[in-house]
Structure 1
Amino acid sequence: MANAVAAPNPYGFGFVELSPTVLYRAPPDKIKSSGAFITKEPSLILLTSWMNASPRHVARYTTGYQRLFPSSRVVLVTTSALHFLVQSTNQRIKDLEPALDILKNIQPEVRILLHAFSNGGVIAAWLLATTYRARTGQALPISKAIFDSAPGSQGYTASLAAFAVGLPKNPIARGVGSGLLRIVLGVWFCYIYFTAKETIVDTVRKALNDPDLFPTHAIRLYVYSSADEIIRWQDVEAHASEAQAKDYRVQKVKYLDSGHTAHLLHDENRYWSAVTGLWDSEYLSSPGSIVVAW
């Protein structure tokens, strides 16, 4: 990281690219207080973005965290459709090496906040956790976790909607891309059906509640919406219930009309209040309760 040179970055001020999918931001030398009543800021914030997320949209979260926790380091992991369609797991892990190196060198007193978005983000978090476990024998060293619009289940319609986010805006190119995407996903789901194989989303869904990968002491917050057309709110709440049954401490913030990974846009103050509430206290209100956000 010492050789990286800071430059203007679409993901936010101060980010440097460590690999094709990992970016890093160190806190500035001079830090202005956020004004929030936070007992102790996270030492490190690990963000794993949703698939095909535009830098402009991700920057809303990175700049928000910069205002809220100005002294925190930030590791950002991005994901794209290519990672799932053509990239091998070994290559994906190679791209994640800078993030893994940072996690491997974390000291015991360091407090880490994981913030994963959509299925793409939780898959990235899972790959980090499984690789970290294989190398260290330990669960991912996180203190708190936020699952935004995740996890869902993998179906054809939801997958098509998720992958379509990255298609070109040009109507002709988008039409061609959509047709090819439908064929590829159709073949894939036929293969899954006839071979009875478990999908990656189903694998990760179970793994998120595996204490060998994600420690039970890390209180987690689920943020989701009944209006999400990609991730069903029923799937999120079912996963939260499964987590509670395995001794994870859970909080849920349910929006009624915000879109997929768009809860921040719907009500920024409520969103960041939930984040600070998770970080600075044992519970937002009471174990397992649902805070409804209009």
Structure 2
Amino acid sequence: MPEKLTWIRLNPYVSVSCQPNTPNGRIVVKNHDVSPSIILLFGWMGARFHQVLDYADALHELFPSSTIVIISSWAEFVWRSQSYLNTAMIPVVELLQSERNHKTRFRGALVHIISNGGGWQFMTLRKVLSNLQLSTPPADRAPTALILDSVPDDKGLKSSLRAVSPTNPILRVLVFPFLFCLYVSIFIHNRFTGRLPLFAELRVALLQAEILPFIVTGGAPRLYVYSQSDPLVLATRVEQHIAAAAQLGLDVAVEEFEGTSHAAHMHSDPERYWSAVHSMWVGAVARMSNTVSH
């Protein structure tokens, strides 16, 4: 059992793990350790820190030498300016750059996204990375992998309102008119500016081969985790995205659960869930090793 992590909150959205009782919060990496240098864990919209911590703790057990970054998602995402959203991701960019710049020990990055809210924050991070002007080239021989848990959806108004509405039924009734007007305003703004609708933009972002542009080059394998019983993100929507990814030649794996609700797959069968995640990463490392050897 690895030592318990402590956490440093960098801003209202971003927290980073820190190993206690070690220099600079880091641990010594053993030769046989295949842990990624950094893991980005994007929580679902409205998730409390302790809820996402269940995932972070499990990731720490699998990959004890990885730095783990938790990125939170809140309903305000849909009405905040792009500039504000980009600024919130700066600490994540700096952490990625810091890890990448240590090329002799950079062991790649694992991106773990839960639900559409997590996907939207990832989408924002990709935008920031895509606009970077870096003086040093990205790491070109490091593994990456993408875990997609209960994402992406594509149901427009219905999904948007459900995603940002309060869980309390009374509050939901009170704020629904405001949220509806907000959605219509955003829709009109997107039409006039040529920007894709939020869910369409998310689906496009998750089909990009390079998940962390200007940090690591090369396509990333991806694992889709979903359920036919998910009432929020329909299985058919996820399966359409899986088919699109495969058609683009992306390396795709699927873990389909039965009878599990939205973003509840990990708690229903932790052993199966984390085995799939671990296998995805180990496979990414093996493929990278084979590429380098040839």
**Superposition TM-score tier, normalisation by shorter sequence:** 0.7 to 0.9
Please say if residues 27 and 70 of structure 1, whose CA atoms lie closer than 8 Å, have aligned partners that are also in contact.
Answer: no
Check if 1:113 corresponds to 2:110: yes
Counterpart of 1:18 (choices 6, 10, 19) is: 10
Residue identity over aligned pairs, in percent, reads 28
CA distance in 2, matches of 1:43, 1:188: 38
Distance in 2 separating the partners of 1:230 and 1:186: 21
Distance 2:181 2:228 in 1: 29
Q: Whole-Å Cα distance in 2 between the matches of residues 78 and 89 of structure 1?
A: 16
CA RMSD of aligned residues (A): 3.0
In structure 2, what residue type is equivalent to 1:133? S
Deviations along 1:219-268, one digit per CA (max 9) or x if unpaired, are 11010111111111111122122112222101011112111111111111
Residue 198 of structure 2 is matched in structure 1 by 200
Contact map agreement 1:41 1:71 (CA 8 A) in 2: yes
Distance 1:193 1:241, change over 3 A: same
Aligned twin of 2:63: 69
Gap runs ≥5 in structure 2: 26-31, 286-294
Query: Comparing 206-215 with 99-108, which one deviates more in the overlay?
Result: 206-215
Instruction: Report the CA distance between 1:55 and its aligned residue.
Output: 2.2
Deviations 1:13-41 (A, max 9, x none): 5111111211111234479xxxxxx8511
| Uncovered stretches (5+) of structure 1, i.e. residues with no partner | 1-11, 32-37, 284-294
Counterpart of 1:224 (choices 210, 223, 226) is: 226
**Superposition pairs of residues 276-287 of structure 1, within 5 angstroms:** 276-282=278-284
Given the superposition, is the C-alpha separation of residues 26 and 136 from structure 1 closer, same or farther in structure 2, using an over 3 Å criterion? farther
Aligned equivalent of 1:286:
none
> Alpha-carbon deviation of 1:177?
2.4
Q: Name 2:253's counterpart in structure 1.
A: 251
Q: Distance in 1 between matches of 2:253 and 2:161?
A: 29
Question: What's 1:9 paired with?
Answer: none
CA distance in 2, matches of 1:131, 1:193: 23
Indicate if the aligned counterparts of 1:139 and 1:211 stay in contact, CA closer than 8 A.
no
Aligned in 2, Cα 1:217/1:191: closer, same or farther, shift over 3 Å?
Answer: closer
Aligned partners of 1:22, 1:53: CA distance in 2, in Å? 13
Letter in 2 for 1:90: S
Structure-2 separation of matches of 1:21 and 1:282:
28
**1:27 corresponding residue in structure 2:** 19
The answer to whether the aligner puts 1:94 opposite 2:94 as a matched pair is no
SS at match of 2:110: strand
The 3-state SS of whatever aligns with 2:132 is helix
Cα distance in 2 for residues equivalent to 1:132 and 1:194:
25
- In the alignment, the residues of structure 2 paired with residue 17 and residue 55 of structure 1 have an alpha-carbon distance, to the nearest angstrom, of 11
Is 1:181 equivalent to 2:176 in the alignment?
A: no
- Partner residue in 2 for 1:152: 153
Please state if 1:59 is matched with 2:53. yes
- Could you say what secondary structure the match of 1:281 adopts? helix
Shift in alpha-carbon separation, 1:136–1:115, aligned structure 2, 3 A: farther
Find the counterpart in structure 2 of residue 8 from structure 1: none
Q: From the superposition, tell whether residues 275 and 28 of structure 1 become closer, same or farther in structure 2 (CA, over 3 Å).
A: farther
Q: How many residues align?
A: 263
